[in-house]
Amino acid sequence: MSHTDSDPARFLDGPIVSLLWLLLSLPLGRQRLIIIANNVWLESDLDINRVRRNNHKVEEKQSCVLPRRPISQMHRGYGALLGCLVVAVIIGVVVIFCHFRRRKYKIKSSKKDIEVAEASVEYEELTCKQMSIKEIYTATENLRLSNIIGQGIAGKVYKGMLANGRSVAVKHIIKNEHAETFLREVTSLSHVRHPNLVSLRGYCDGQDECFLVYELCVNGNLSEWLFGKDKNLFWIQRLQIALGSACGLWFLHIYPEGCIVHRDIKPTNILLGVDMEPKLADFGLSRCMDIGVSHVSSEVRGTFGYVDPEYRHNHRVHAAGDVYSFGMVLLQLLSGKRAINIQNTTKPISLDKMASMLIREGNVLEFADPRLNGEYSEEAFDLSLKLALSCTGHKQQRPSMEQVVSRLEKALEISMGDDDTRNTISFVDSFA
């Protein structure tokens, strides 16, 4: 509804003018009203002349006056007219007020209905509901092979569509082999919501198999973009992906009910949404620690090349382990290289050691991904590289994810320039 349509002044103008026009169009007529008004003035003048001339006849003056009713009848007619006008105007105003009030109430009611509908959709999106086997098989077309979009340790991932038309990713888990993975994911994601964490829409706990239903991230995972032949990321995109992933990890580490340690941060577990926004996925190895607990003991889990060396030795799950893994991912975003590389010799070398070696030799820019074509800020690149190496350093010297977010924001600010930075929304605002 436009502003002009809802303006009371505009709404009242038409009906009142129409009402007055109708009254003036009655048998009395506009000319009749003019005549009556002239008669009132002339009648007063005649009364004065009669007194002055001692009741002499003034036929000459009266001859110019149109025939009229007696004075008392004329006054009564004029008063009746004014009364009708006043009553009509009052009735018109009341009718218009009631109509406008009812219209305003309808608008408020419709707005309220819209808000309720939007809240219902939002609630549906935020809730993780239990689904039936039939719903799962219908959504994936009976686990059709052409719908497979990925495969992990726990099972295959299928693209599907729910009855409400929403596209989803369905992870198929063989229960007797990976029941623990299923339970961890449901426990971790069913009540955790953040823009940089993949949303768990539902789950199905069958007798021999189980399913996890996630939101579908249409642009795949980060690994496909870093190492795929037909895909590439420009510099700003890489920083934004690093920043968003860091925010999601920071949120997990400061979760009010206890620190959640992901334990498997790597490019394949960073999914990309429709606008290339990053979302951490695969919480099958995650651990939730009680408030005040700094670490818990566990068998070594994770992916080779991304596991904290200290965790491999002491088997202690700690948030610093995620920081190490994130540092390795950041190094990959900067270089476009694998976590473990083979250079001139057959001896493999980790990406963090390669970066440290190039820094010592003064060849920092040689670490940059050639596909960037030199289109990046050297200052921001240097800042990001030092940050990544601090994440992969000794546990006591590693930054927190909050500090990581702050430094990445600085790197992004430098890269985008002062003018563009003023229009950039900080990822930290997602915690508000």
141: alpha, beta or left? (left if phi > 0; alpha if psi -120 to 50): left
Condensed to tens digits (0 to 9), the pLDDT of residues 287-299 reads 776 544 444 545 5
Q: Residue 91 has what pLDDT?
A: 84
Condensed to tens digits (0 to 9), the pLDDT of residues 352-398 reads 999 999 999 999 899 999 999 999 999 999 999 999 999 999 999 99
Q: Residue 299 has what pLDDT?
A: 57
From CA 158, how far away is CA 21, in angstroms rounded?
72
Of the candidate ranges 51-60, 209-218, 307-316, 336-345, the one whose mean pLDDT is the lowest: 51-60
Residue 187 φ then ψ, to 5°: -65, -40
From CA 344, how far away is CA 43, in angstroms rounded?
122
Length of the chain: 432
Residue 305, CB half-sphere, CA atoms under 13 Å: how many?
15
**pLDDT tier, 105 (very low <50, low <70, confident <90, very high otherwise):** low
- Closest C-alpha among 219, 274, 279 to residue 246: 279
Asked whether 157 and 169 are in contact (CB, 8 A), the reply is: yes
Question: In terms of pLDDT, which residue wins out, 138 or 72?
Answer: 138
| Vertex 410: Cα angle to 407 and 413 (nearest 5) | 155
Could you tell me how far CA 234 lies from the centroid of its own chain?
A: 24
Q: Residue 360 has what pLDDT?
A: 93
> In the chain, how long is the greatest CA-to-CA distance?
140
From CA 409, how far away is CA 243, in angstroms rounded?
7
Q: How many other C-beta atoms are found inside a 10 Å radius of the C-beta of residue 9?
A: 7
Mapped onto helix, strand or coil, the DSSP state of residue 12 is helix
Asked whether 334 and 381 are in contact (CB, 8 A), the reply is: yes
- Give yes or no for residue 302 having a pLDDT over 60: yes
Residue 395 has which token pair? 């546990």
Q: Residue 154 has what pLDDT?
A: 77
Q: Residue 366 has what pLDDT?
A: 92
Residue 258, CB half-sphere, CA atoms under 13 Å: how many?
17
Condensed to tens digits (0 to 9), the pLDDT of residues 164-207 reads 999 999 999 887 666 777 777 777 777 889 999 999 999 998 88
Asked whether 207 and 226 are in contact (CB, 8 A), the reply is: no
From CA 429, how far away is CA 422, in angstroms rounded?
14
Catalytic (active site) residue 264: yes
Please identify which of the residues 5, 45, 113, 264 carries the catalytic annotation.
Answer: 264
Q: Residue 74 has what pLDDT?
A: 56
**pLDDT tier, 220 (very low <50, low <70, confident <90, very high otherwise):** very high
- Tell me the average pLDDT of the chain: 77
